[in-house]
Amino acid sequence: MLTVCWAAKGGSGTTVVAAAIALSSAAPTVLVDLAGDLPLVLGVDADGRPGVHDWLTSGAPADRLDRLAVPLGSTRTLVPRGEAALPVDDARWAALGRALATRPDRVIVDAGTGDPPPALCAAADALLIVTRPCYVGLRRAIASTCRPTGVVLVDEPGHRLSADDVERSLGVPVVATVLLDPAIARAVDSGLLVSRLPRACTTQLGRVAA
């Protein structure tokens, strides 16, 4: 199953959400980093390693993706972003989508901020937009050209918008609400999210991971 996560506005928490979904999954799971921040969040050294962008610009076959993976324990791996910064055409994004969607394990893609490539979205089983209940974030989510199948709401005190407001505005369900928890920030800042995933993340994103 291929799940693509992205945000329409920066600072929404997409990388932490994608990582937490993968770490909450009971099934073997591959995290694919298109944005570049997952190694930092997970405390993994990926500096100088080739990654998915190198694969995209190389013409390599699908089985080469496994050679790029970094272990995250016994049942999870991370395919880092890599170093290549060349443009990628639609056909290559489509090839990546096919390669990930046909894997036997669970695949979570952190697509960062902005609309994910349409050819990748076309292959996905779930398209999750990550947003906070703020007016600017919601307006940008509404304007997104990639239509989500669900919303992960990162809730923080002080906003007047509710989950119902978000659902009505985007026309898709809120599949999980993640409450801002200082324990999550501490785990991320110390690079210990893999070993010390806060229970709040596991509880709130468990259904998405399943």
Full DSSP string of the chain: -EEEEEESSTTS-HHHHHHHHHHH-SS-EEEEESSS-HHHHHT---TT---HHHHHTTT--GGGGGGG-EE-SSSEEEE---S------HHHHHHHHHHHHT-SSEEEEEEEESPPPHHHHHH-SEEEEEE-S-HHHHHHHHH-SSPPSEEEEEE-TT----HHHHHHHHSS-EEEEEE--HHHHHHHHTT-TTT---HHHHHHHHHHH-
With a cut of 70, say whether residue 88 has pLDDT above it: yes
- Whole-angstrom distance, CA of residue 137 vs CA of residue 199: 26
The pLDDT confidence band at residue 109, using thresholds 50, 70 and 90, is very high
Taking residues 166-194, report their average pLDDT: 82
Q: Greater confidence, 207 or 154?
A: 154
- Whole-angstrom distance, CA of residue 197 vs CA of residue 41: 11
pLDDT of residue 158: 67
CATH architecture label of 2-209: 3-Layer(aba) Sandwich (3.40)
Assess contact for 35 and 81: CB atoms under 8 A. yes
- Whole-angstrom distance, CA of residue 99 vs CA of residue 79: 13
pLDDT of residue 131: 93
pLDDT of residue 1: 93
pLDDT in tens, 131-142: 988 888 899 999
Q: Among 11, 14, 28, which Cα is nearest to 209's? A: 28
pLDDT of residue 197: 73
Taking residues 100-119, report their average pLDDT: 96
Write down the domain spans for the chain.
Answer: 2-209
What is the distance of C-alpha 81 from the center of its chain? 12
% the chain with pLDDT above 70: 95
With a cut of 80, say whether residue 194 has pLDDT above it: no
pLDDT of residue 165: 92
For the chain, the average pLDDT equals 89
pLDDT in tens, 16-69: 999 999 988 889 999 999 999 999 889 888 888 999 999 999 989 999 999 999
